Structure 1
Amino acid sequence: MVDTPTYDATRNRVEAYFDRTATRTWERLTSDAPVSGIRQTVREGRDRMRDIMLSRLPNDLNGRRVLDAGCGTGAMSEALAERGADVVAIDISPQLIDIATKRLPDHLAARVTFASGDMLSDDLGQFDHVLAMDSMIYYEAPDLGRAIARLAGRTRRSIVFTVAPRTPFLMAFFALGKVFPRADRSPTMIPHVPARIAQETTRTGAAGAVHEVERVSRGFYISTCLEYTA
């Protein structure tokens, strides 16, 4: 199980931030509405990362069940459904799920099941693939290793996910967040070295391996795509 004091505390902070503080910000960021220059780089970076993650899966996903873990406002879920996947889209924020449900085109409604809750819940069932874009970036390495291993036990093919890389830029922001905490600040990203995530996943006894796919660095958006395969 992944339920540890650090995992639970982080999950609670993420839920409070996205469901009570940042809903309107994320709704605008993930739309076509004009945004500031900084947020535009984040939008562009996220679009690029989504494309990279989707490239790890077949273009034809008919007959495959895919978990969009931390689906946010639903862009990944929509893209997966367009490829024919049976998508389970879950997010910790009910408000973001509401936005995602409203945005999904009617012709894809039968292919996507939305739910709010913990992306690691065993109740979600078995999957062919799991995609987790920027939904694991707030967790410590041991919790990440346990999370990947737990998902691996219910995933037949691959888990594609992102982490914040351990760069000087992100480490500086991480240090500032520790020195100047604020109640309304977004949950702190934890920068990682991919090899450490691979080690922590192996330590759990998971049979597969984690490898780095590609890093995206676009202004204020910096993220690394990793993939677990059995």
Structure 2
Amino acid sequence: MPDASYVRRRGELQVYFDRTAVDAWKKFASDEPLGRIRATVRAGRDRMRATLLAGLPDDLAGWRILDAGCGAGHLSLELARRGADVVGIDLSPEMVRFAEGQAEAAGLAAHIHFAAGDMLSDAHGRFDAVVAMDSLIHYRAEDVVTAVARLAGHTENRILFTLAPRTPLLAAMHTIGRLFPRGDRAPSIEPASLERMAHRLERDQRLDGWKTGHSTRVSSGFYISQSMEVTRS
């Protein structure tokens, strides 16, 4: 059973991404020109997507992979192009419908199952690997560890995810975000220390048999994100 704080934040995120921000996120997934700030975010997300993909084999034939918090489905598409069978889960039904259209247009719909729901649900089955790009950055550190542990419970090989690293710029952005009217705010991110997160993961008994691995920071204008991986030891 997910912790109450995780469930509460999950509800906030669902409202935001399905009602408030869905059109903006569709633009990120298109070739439509963006303003200067949003263009840096798109470029940063492209780099982080490539970073996570680099942590997986080029040939993923026979792999079943969960794209946890799939959004518009870009990462799911790339995984399917490498031969994986992909399950893409997102809180937003509207984003899932958009991702399904993207898969149809790319001729990859037969290799990807998109669904709206909780990315941590055991009902999705077992996977060889999990990717969670920028889908855990809104949760407290203890909820992130619990999420990784739950994902590990039905994952055979590795989990690749991202954090919002604790930096002065992100701290300033976090403060500025709180100045907007409540109805216009995105749910705040939860900056985390890479070293402390690695320590938490390595000490958690639910992750016995797993170890932390490679980490890369991507910084592109207003996009700052840190990849992490845990693998079976």
By the TM > 0.5 criterion, same fold? yes
Deviation at 1:179, TM superposition (A): 6.1
Cα contact 1:194–1:211 (8 A) shared by 2? no
Please report how far the alpha carbon of residue 90 of structure 1 lies from its aligned counterpart in structure 2 after TM superposition. Answer: 0.6
Q: 1:57-115 CA distances to partner (integer Å, 9 max, x unpaired)?
A: 00100000000001111110100000000000010000000000001135311110111
Q: Distance in 2 between matches of 1:157 and 1:181?
A: 43
Counterpart for residue 4 of structure 1: 3
Q: CA deviation at 1:17?
A: 0.4
Q: How many residues align?
A: 229
Supply the distance in 1 between the matched residues of 2:179 and 2:41 (Cα, whole angstroms): 24
Task: For 1:32 and 1:125, locate their aligned partners in 2 and report how far apart those are by CA, in whole Å.
Answer: 34
Deviations along 1:130-168, one digit per CA (max 9) or x if unpaired, are: 000000000000000011011011111110000100000
Contact 1:45/1:218 (<8 A) preserved: yes
The superposition leaves residues 19-44 of structure 1 with CA deviations (integer Å, 9 ceiling, x where unpaired) of 01001000011110011010000000
Confirm or deny that 1:158 pairs with 2:158.
yes
Segments of 5+ residues of structure 2 without an aligned counterpart are none
SS in 1 for 2:87: strand
SS of 1:192's equivalent in the other structure is coil
1:58 is matched with: 57
Give me the whole-angstrom Cα distance separating, in 1, the residues matched to 2:179 and 2:212. 32
Secondary structure of residue in 1 paired with 2:201 = helix
Output aligned runs, 1:56-135, within 5 Å: 56-104=55-103, 105=105, 107-135=107-135
Normalising by structure 2, report the TM-score. 0.94
For 1:218 and 1:107, how far apart are their aligned partners in 2? 31
What does 1:164-183 align with in structure 2 at a 5 Å threshold?
164-178=164-178, 182-183=182-183
Question: AA paired with 1:224?
Answer: Q
Shift of 1:198: 2.1
Q: Distance in 2 between matches of 1:210 and 1:194?
A: 11
C-alpha separation in 1, matches of 2:179 and 2:221: 23
Query: What is the root-mean-square deviation of aligned Cα atoms in Å?
Result: 1.4
Contact 2:90 2:116 in 1 (8 A): yes
Query: Matched residues in 2 for 1:199 and 1:9: separation?
Result: 26
Match of 1:222 in 2: 224
2:197 paired residue number: 197
Normalising by structure 1, we get a TM-score of: 0.95
Counterpart contact for 1:146–1:200, Cα < 8 Å: no
Percentage of pairs with the same residue: 49
> How much has 1:176 moved relative to structure 2?
3.6
Residue 203 of structure 1: how far off its partner (Å)? 4.0
Matched to 1:13, the amino acid is E
> Which amino acid is 2:219 matched to?
S
In structure 1, distance between residues paired with 2:214 and 2:137: 15
Counterpart for residue 138 of structure 1: 138
Contact 1:69 1:131 in 2 (8 A): yes
Q: Secondary structure at the match of 1:161?
A: strand
CA distance in 1 between partners of 2:106 and 2:34 (Å):
27
Are the counterparts in 2 of residues 146 and 201 from structure 1 also a CA contact under 8 Å? no
Alpha carbons 2:133, 2:162 under 8 Å: kept: yes
Partners of 1:66 and 1:28 in 2: CA distance: 26
Q: Distance in 2 between matches of 1:220 and 1:180?
A: 17
